[in-house]
Structure 1
Amino acid sequence: MKLVKSLLLGSAAGIAAVAGAQAADLPSRKAAPVEYVRVCSAYGAGFFYIPGTDTCLRVGGRVRAEYTVGTRFGDYQDAYGTRARGRLNIDARTATAYGTLRTFFRYELTNNTGLYNSGGVTPFNTGAVIPGSTRGAAPTAASSALVDLAFVQFGPITAGRAQSFFDFYANDYNFASTRTSDTRLNLLAYTATFGSGFSATVSLEDRVSGTNNRELPGVTFTPTLLGGTYGTAVVQGQDYPDLIGSLRVDQGWGSAQLSGAVGQRKYSVGLPSVAVQSPVDGDEMVWAIQGGVKINLPMLAAGDNLILQAAYADGALGYIGWYPGTFGVGRLGGLTLADATLNTITGSVDNSSGWSLVAALKHFWTPQLRTEITASYSQVKLKYIDAASFGAFARSLDPKEYNIAANLIWSPVSGLDIGVEVLYTHLDVRNPVGEAQNYGGRSGILSIKNDDAWAGRLRIQRDF
């Protein structure tokens, strides 16, 4: 009996061993490796590798709520406005043998009421410039969408919609109150770096594609005294975009930049009604120059800095923050602004010119509490007539303006700003004009040469 048991157990063990050996030879299905999201530290906080690639991606954005009160000029005009804006940023970067390949995209959705809404105020108080609104342009519609930025950077090349390389202080301190160039537009640029923080850029920039088209050149014309009637003065197409050049240095003490711009503007006006007058047109060269410096002030507090900037423009006032259309403060509202005048008496094109000075200071009272103060002063010499005020007599208004703005912002946690802001604007014109009325017209009873306005805002903003 014992012999039989031993034979059976031995046979079973042999069969199991053979079966195991055969099973080991059969193909088996293994679990696929799991791709985990990895942190990418090469480009700063918030970047991670897209699984399966060597591209680093950062997804961020902003939500801002604004509540603004402006100077009330009459019962017809709204005295407050609200805005809700959402922003999405996508930043993708890849290291290559030619340098970093970067793609950046920013998209904004906005809802406005009152002072922010184009239907809320007539005329809009462009002098006060509601905080956060576009300088020189009418407020946006109740709801709007905007591709704010969309560009590719490959080594020294920048192509797409980006911040103008002419700009230095571009309303960096939350205000849109200063007279400064702050434009995002379509461009093609080449940047050369020389080491020690020095760089130089040459950029071709399409001013017509600027933010809210606020870089479109404006033109008006001086009426002739010979009795003929001209057609509407118009801006014709440009043969090439504006050429921008800039020299920049970024070091531990701060940064500085010198930039210049040259461009072409073409104007024309229709034929007059009498034969003794000739049609007027012009092909004008325009230019601008700007210098700025940013000085870090760590001896006051970490993060403190001071910005100083000066700019001059001839025939392209957008480079100093004056944009074609209407301008004015309160009772001076609704005055016409243009880059050039088609003079139907002399048969010439006269460019408007102007300059601006900007100062901005940021100070941290504590790491969570800061103040930003900005101020600008500008003068413009306009070769134009304000027809609503002067009829057929050509007289220049030559506006002079200063803006002062300040805020107090509390950041209780990272990425959250809660603050109040106040703006003051004063405008002088060279010759008296009829007082603007509540309905948008002008009064011949009272002529004024200056006026001022106030605006304030409560802002709650979350960046992520």
Structure 2
Amino acid sequence: MNIKSLLIGSAAAIVAVSGARAADAVVVAEPEPMEYVRVCDVYGAGFYYIPGTETCLRVGGYLRYDIGVGMWGHQDVVDRKDFAEDGVLDYNDTYYKLMRAQVQLDARGETEFGTLRGYMALNFNNETDVTGGVLNQVFTDSFFAFDHAWIELGGFRVGYSDSMFEWLTDSAGAVIQDSIVAYSPGKSHQISYTFTAGNGFAATIGFEEGNNGRGGIYTLDSYVPHVVAGASFTQGWGKVAAVVGYDSVWEEWAGKVRVDVNATENITLFAMAGYKSGADDDDFGGLDAPNFYGVWGGDWAVWAGGTARFNEKTALNVQLSYDEDETFGAVVGLDYNIVPLFVIRPEISYASVQDPVTGEREDDWGGYLRFQRSF
């Protein structure tokens, strides 16, 4: 064998070995099976299965921009320029503004004990506020807050939300400014159980913590909770609901009864009445005794109103309210859906309030405008 033949043979062997190794290096792995997101239509529109689970999730929320004037704006704020120039306190009225982004997460799944649900609504707010006092000035403030957060299994619920004294009677009317005569103590930690029958009847009993509102005197000061119980009956013609709440701190109670009627295909009406203990209490100088659930003035209060839908885009909302302390409120508002999921809501309000100490009556007007894009 000569040198030339030896070199050619060696080169061929190297090429063969290199080719074998290259072939080994480019082996392509089989692709993993892909799991596509599946729609979950058991609980309504917008739910989908979380991949790899049998839990259905809905992500929603809204963007909201509010403008308030008059009684819903900022009144008697210092005119900064005048005060800077001559030191004299002159006052103006100005706008109230709120920008809110709410994110809602709703997770549901079926278990041997019924539907397991977790729900939360988170608010990210920027609004105008006032400093108060003689040098009353407007400033902007950003803050985060839980609107709702609770866990539910079957009829058992635990978490933080609007007081049961509110949601067991479906708040008040459909207007934005529905609490000129107050009907709700606000939000609270709560534990409840709801029994639901198949004939439209439901009953709830629960316990609440109270909150820091109205001077911070309604949160629990012992292991005895506030107690709430309510029942409702719903049919095609409408609904009847009643609720009673017991304030364990001040040992007072309050109750409400509400009736909703579907008057026509496009008109719904409601009326609600409340009564509480402790009004005109001698232990408190003839004023109302503290009562977490009795938030209106005097023994009793009434609310009434309705909604008239003109077409798919436009609805008119009206609400009137009055209590024994002669507080009167009237609100008229319009809901106009420019396009689906984007609504403009202008409102006009009138309030007449009598001071329980001096007896003086104050009348005030206000306007409110809301833009909301839901998703």
Q: TM-score, structure 1 length as denominator?
A: 0.63
Q: Distance in 2 between matches of 1:357 and 1:239?
A: 33
Distance 1:305 1:216, change over 3 A: farther
Q: Equivalent residue for 2:351?
A: 425
Matched, 1:308 2:286: no
Q: Equivalent residue for 1:46?
A: 46
Counterpart residue identity of residue 166, structure 1: F
Distance 1:236 1:37, change over 3 A: closer
Q: Equivalent residue for 2:99?
A: 84
SS of the residue 1:78 aligns to: strand
Q: Equivalent residue for 1:454?
A: 365
State the Cα RMSD in Å.
3.0
User: Number of residue pairs matched?
Assistant: 319
* Mapping 1:322-337, distance limit 5 Å: none
Counterpart residue identity of residue 63, structure 2: V
Q: Distance in 1 between matches of 2:146 and 2:227?
A: 23
**Which of the numbers 314, 332, 346 marks the counterpart of 1:406?**
332
Identical positions, percent = 30
SS of the residue 1:366 aligns to: coil
Whether the 8 Å CA contact 2:343–2:372 is kept in 1: the answer is: yes
Q: Distance in 2 between matches of 1:316 and 1:186?
A: 26
Deviations 1:235-274 (A, max 9, x none): 9824411111111112222222111111222xxxxxxxxx
Q: Distance in 1 between matches of 2:149 and 2:139?
A: 21
Distance 1:118 1:362, change over 3 A: same
Q: Distance in 1 between matches of 2:56 and 2:99?
A: 30
* Mapping 1:336-347, distance limit 5 Å: 339-340=289-290
SS of the residue 1:43 aligns to: coil
Matched, 1:378 2:323: yes
Counterpart residue identity of residue 31, structure 1: P
Whether the 8 Å CA contact 2:187–2:211 is kept in 1: the answer is: no
Counterpart residue identity of residue 170, structure 1: S
Unaligned runs of 5+ in 1: 1-26, 125-138, 219-234, 266-283, 318-336, 342-351, 380-398, 434-447
1:36 is displaced (CA, Å) by: 0.8
Q: Equivalent residue for 2:69?
A: 69
Q: Distance in 2 between matches of 1:176 and 1:240?
A: 31
Q: Equivalent residue for 1:10?
A: none
Point out the more displaced range, 246-255 or 172-181: 172-181
* Mapping 1:22-421, distance limit 5 Å: 29-70=29-70, 75-113=90-128, 117-119=129-131, 142-167=141-166, 168-171=169-172, 173=174, 174-179=176-181, 180-181=183-184, 183-208=186-211, 213-214=213-214, 216-217=216-217, 237-265=221-249, 284-299=250-265, 301=266, 304-315=267-278, 339-340=289-290, 353-379=298-324, 399-421=325-347
Whether the 8 Å CA contact 1:207–1:215 is kept in 2: the answer is: no
1:305 is displaced (CA, Å) by: 1.4
Whether the 8 Å CA contact 1:118–1:142 is kept in 2: the answer is: no
Whether the 8 Å CA contact 1:245–1:261 is kept in 2: the answer is: yes
Whether the 8 Å CA contact 2:187–2:210 is kept in 1: the answer is: no
Unaligned runs of 5+ in 2: 1-26, 78-89, 281-286, 292-296
Q: Distance in 1 between matches of 2:139 and 2:186?
A: 16
Q: Equivalent residue for 1:127?
A: none
1:28 is displaced (CA, Å) by: 8.8
Whether the 8 Å CA contact 1:178–1:374 is kept in 2: the answer is: no
1:78 is displaced (CA, Å) by: 3.0
Distance 1:163 1:177, change over 3 A: closer
1:339 is displaced (CA, Å) by: 3.4
Deviations 1:55-89 (A, max 9, x none): 11000111111111115568525332211111111
Whether the 8 Å CA contact 1:178–1:375 is kept in 2: the answer is: no
Counterpart residue identity of residue 66, structure 2: E
Whether the 8 Å CA contact 1:292–1:310 is kept in 2: the answer is: yes
Q: Distance in 1 between matches of 2:46 and 2:147?
A: 21
SS of the residue 1:64 aligns to: strand
Whether the 8 Å CA contact 1:287–1:316 is kept in 2: the answer is: no
Distance 1:430 1:242, change over 3 A: closer
Q: TM-score, structure 2 length as denominator?
A: 0.77
Q: Distance in 1 between matches of 2:65 and 2:315?
A: 19
Whether the 8 Å CA contact 2:332–2:347 is kept in 1: the answer is: yes
SS of the residue 1:83 aligns to: strand
Q: Distance in 1 between matches of 2:290 and 2:39?
A: 54
Q: Distance in 2 between matches of 1:183 and 1:451?
A: 25
Q: Which has the higher contact order (CA 8 A, sep 6+)?
A: 1
Q: Equivalent residue for 2:11?
A: none
Q: Distance in 1 between matches of 2:254 and 2:135?
A: 30
Q: Distance in 1 between matches of 2:32 and 2:278?
A: 65
Distance 1:252 1:236, change over 3 A: closer
Q: Distance in 1 between matches of 2:259 and 2:239?
A: 6
